[in-house]
Amino acid sequence: MSKTGLGKMILKIIVMVIILFVILGPLFGVVLWSFAMKWYWPHPIPQEMGLKYWSEVFHRGRVLDSILLSLEIACIVVGLSLIIASPAAYGFSRYRLPFEKILLVLFLMPQAFPQLPIFINIAAIFSHYHLTGNMWGIIFVHTMASLVFSVWIITATFRAIPEELEQVALNLGASRLRTFFTITLPLAVPGLIASAIFVFLWSMGEFTGAFFIGAPFIQTAPVMMYTAAMGYNMQTASVVALILMAPAIIFMVVIEKYLKAEYIAGLGG
């Protein structure tokens, strides 16, 4: 191998190591903290490791309840988002609606601006309707903010389904409702799954809205993780963080399988 080729290989290895360090370094630190029972500066690794904090998380009712609450909220938000987004997305994909571009942008608005002032104002509004400090307030705010994922992804999915298939069914005597449930909806399942996954992961990891709407009586897993970290309980915070990462890792495999390029090709159309 020539010196030039050797130099390029060394450069590639160095770049790869840097990329892996940037990506996996923080995760490796979280894993170490989750098993650390004694870790003091300047030691690079914990002096004592064990499963004490993992055991506490699953046996301490408050932490486990927060994780289960986050799962419950995320599942309800997914259901509400699909119920609201599916008919809206079908309308955007099949009909020329007045101000269609503006309406689609409106669904993007909750994610287009800094979320802190938005959620503070929502909390002020929700307080008048007794929706602060309870689970349903968090569900409503998560549903509002997650519509950007569900509407845009499902709209692109419906646009990727040829209208000719629906026209054939209609010409053969099927009603428009039957055509939707027997032709369009089954073909849109991969896009619906991808949308559900994005909404679920976003809701599971969302902190700002859950903090301002749910406090002080409702603590989701991200709020519990923040509280533990602010109390310098890095072990508990790290365990909760790793538990929250698990669904993301699993669903990334599902997204890779179901979220095909043709489903997102219509996002800007």
> What domains are there in the chain, each with its CATH number?
3-49 (no CATH), 53-264 (1.10.3720.10)
Long-range residue pairs from 1-7, CB within 8 A, at least 24 positions apart, any chain: none
pLDDT in tens, the chain (269 residues): 566 666 777 888 888 888 777 777 777 888 888 888 888 777 778 888 888 888 877 776 677 888 889 999 999 999 999 999 998 888 888 877 776 667 766 666 666 667 778 888 888 888 888 888 889 999 999 998 888 888 888 988 898 888 888 888 888 888 888 888 888 888 888 888 888 888 998 999 898 889 999 877 888 988 888 888 787 788 888 888 888 888 877 877 766 665 554 444 444 44
Let me know if 123 is exposed, middle or buried by CB neighbors in 10 A (0-12, 13-18, 19+): buried
Q: How far is CA 127 from the centre of its chain?
A: 26
Residue 104 has what pLDDT? 67
Residue 233 has what pLDDT? 82
Give the number of other CB atoms < 10 A from CB of residue 218: 20
d(CA 13, CA 139): 46
List 91's β-bridge partners, or say none.
none
Residue 256 has what pLDDT? 66
Residue 108 has what pLDDT? 66
Cis peptide before 98 (omega within 30 of 0): no
Residue 137 has what pLDDT? 92
Residues with Cβ within 8 Å of 234's Cβ and at least 6 positions away in sequence, in order, are 33, 36, 228
Residue 160 has what pLDDT? 86
Alpha helices in 113-184 (DSSP H): 115-128, 135-160, 163-171, 176-179
Let me know if 266 is exposed, middle or buried by CB neighbors in 10 A (0-12, 13-18, 19+): middle
Q: Name the DSSP class of 37.
A: E
Residue 268 has what pLDDT? 42
- Short-list 80, 81, 121, CA closest to 212: 121
User: Which H or E run contains 49?
Assistant: strand 48-49
> Token pair for residue 40?
């003091």
